[in-house]
């Protein structure tokens, strides 16, 4: 991998996760953090973490199912359910642990799982762990999903259970899943719907409640899975849904049952993040304002920002070498934005993936756009 120059270049952050930070010893503008709302550094989250360490210590001492469920974990789950308008919720150590732990338990032999072809790796690994038959539908394409469902229905022995899996917001292109159509089809065919809203939590819907709220589908999606590692600014995974779902998940997910629970500081900061979202709408408003402005300006410079509908804004340049060169030139000018290359995206669709952030000022965006313009002209992209 190293010889073929496809190894990942790990840059080191020497400041908190914030728009102007020191990376590899250089002061840069950070355009590739998932800390969309800047909550990682919000005073309420910082203070909640400090208070929790003082009150409950550094670690939880156990897995959730033995002695590692603190009152804080229970309070967070209550808060998630209320934020998501569901009966119940379950908090996992990470979003990856939620997908890898729950998906293989929801379906098994005699069942079929149908997955969008561009779903996240943690869904793919969850599917790999399950004994169900697997089918794929074309990316964000309800007609193709319907074709698969019709084929399954037409069998002499249709599957016992069908589980449809989709990302809410796709992390490479920033497009939004057609969840309304997917849910309608699932209802018509008696299938379950599981949405991974890692990039929609805190970003879409009223007060950042996510994709289910965005499309008005509350009560119709079986598993609303999310993460606290992006817009919520902390770490951890969640599922929201019925009480039965949560009871099933906590009894069956091996990642939840057999791995230590999140420490008090983390859980308290997650609670504070949800409180901030409920009470301070300005962060979300600024995120979307920056998103609209930056996307429009990139496009008017002549860049291809693809099909993005969210703060994930790709700048598609073609070959991998060009994306890597653009990223290097941007870094030289003090702008940190990572290239995404084959095999993560198609060979001719390499890109710089920028993520907008509520904490970026108009001046920051002007500097970033200036750097894109200069480097883009130098590489004959625009």
Q: Is 324 in the site for ligand PMP (CB under 6 A)?
A: no
Question: 241 is written with which tokens?
Answer: 């849904």
Given 96, 215, 294, 303, the residue binding ligand PMP (CB under 6 A): 96
CB of residue 167 to ligand PMP, shortest distance in Å: 5
Q: Is the distance from CB of 314 to CB of 173 less than 8 angstroms?
A: yes
> Is 237 a binder of ligand PMP (CB under 6 A)?
yes
Report the nearest approach of ligand PMP to the CB of residue 157 (Å): 33
The 251-270 contact track toward ligand PMP, x by CB under 6 A, reads: --------------------
Instruction: Name the minimum Å distance from CB 195 to ligand PMP.
Output: 10
Q: Using the rule CB under 6 A, which residue among 19, 38, 95, 208 binds ligand PMP?
A: 95
Name which position in 116, 196, 224, 359 contacts ligand PMP (CB under 6 A).
196
Q: Which stretch binds ligand PMP (CB under 6 A): 91-99, 138-146, 204-212, 306-314?
A: 91-99
Q: Does the footprint of ligand PMP cover residue 310 (CB under 6 A)? A: no
* Touching ligand PMP, residues 214-233 (CB under 6 A): 227, 229
The answer to whether residue 171 is catalytic is yes
The CB-of-229 to ligand PMP minimum distance in angstroms stands at: 4
Catalytic residue among 40, 171, 253, 308: 171
Of 167 and 173, nearer to ligand PMP (C-beta) is 167
Q: What are phi and psi of 211, to 5 degrees?
A: -65, -35
- Binding residues for ligand PMP, total number by CB under 6 A: 13
Catalytic residue check, 259: no
Q: Which residues are catalytic?
A: 171, 199, 230
| Residues contributing to the site for ligand PMP (CB under 6 A) | 94-96, 120, 122, 167, 171, 196, 198-199, 227, 229, 237
């Amino acid at each position: 991998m190293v010889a073929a120059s496809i190894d990942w270049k790990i840059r080191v952050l020497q400041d908190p996760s914030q728009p102007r930070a020191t990376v590899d010893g250089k002061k840069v503008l950070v355009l590739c953090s998932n800390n969309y709302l800047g909550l990682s550094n919000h005073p309420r989250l910082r203070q909640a973490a400090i208070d929790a360490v003082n009150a409950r210590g550094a670690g939880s001492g156990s897995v959730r199912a033995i002695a590692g469920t603190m009152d804080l974990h229970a309070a967070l789950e209550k808060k998630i359910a209320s934020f998501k308008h569901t009966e119940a919720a379950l908090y996992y150590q990470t979003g990856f642990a939620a997908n890898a732990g729950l998906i293989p338990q929801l379906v098994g032999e005699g069942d079929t799982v149908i997955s969008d072809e561009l779903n996240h790796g943690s869904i793919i690994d969850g599917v790999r762990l399950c004994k169900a038959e697997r089918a794929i539908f074309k990316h964000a394409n309800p007609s193709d999903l319907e074709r698969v469902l019709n084929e399954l229905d037409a069998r002499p022995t249709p599957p016992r259970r069908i589980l449809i899996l989709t990302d809410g917001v796709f992390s490479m292109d920033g497009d939004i899943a057609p969840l309304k159509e997917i849910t309608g089809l699932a209802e018509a065919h008696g299938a379950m719907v599981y949405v991974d809203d890692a990039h929609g939590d805190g970003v879409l819907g009223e007060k950042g409640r996510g994709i289910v709220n965005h499309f008005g589908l509350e009560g119709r999606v079986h598993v609303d899975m999310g993460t606290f590692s992006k817009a919520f600014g902390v770490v951890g995974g969640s599922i929201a849904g019925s009480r039965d779902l949560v009871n099933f998940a906590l009894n069956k997910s091996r990642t939840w049952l057999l791995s230590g629970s999140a420490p008090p500081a983390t859980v308290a900061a997650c609670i504070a993040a949800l409180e901030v979202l409920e009470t301070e709408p300005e962060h979300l408003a600024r995120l979307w304002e920056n998103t609209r402005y930056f996307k429009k300006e990139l496009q008017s410079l002549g860049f291809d920002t693809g099909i993005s509908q969210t703060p994930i804004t790709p700048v598609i340049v073609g070959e991998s070498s060009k994306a890597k060169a653009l990223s290097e030139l941007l870094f030289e000018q003090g702008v940190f934005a990572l290239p995404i290359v084959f095999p993560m995206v198609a060979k001719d669709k390499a890109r710089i993936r920028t993520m907008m952030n509520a904490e970026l000022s108009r001046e920051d965006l002007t500097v970033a756009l200036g750097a894109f313009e200069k480097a883009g002209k130098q590489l004959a992209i625009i």
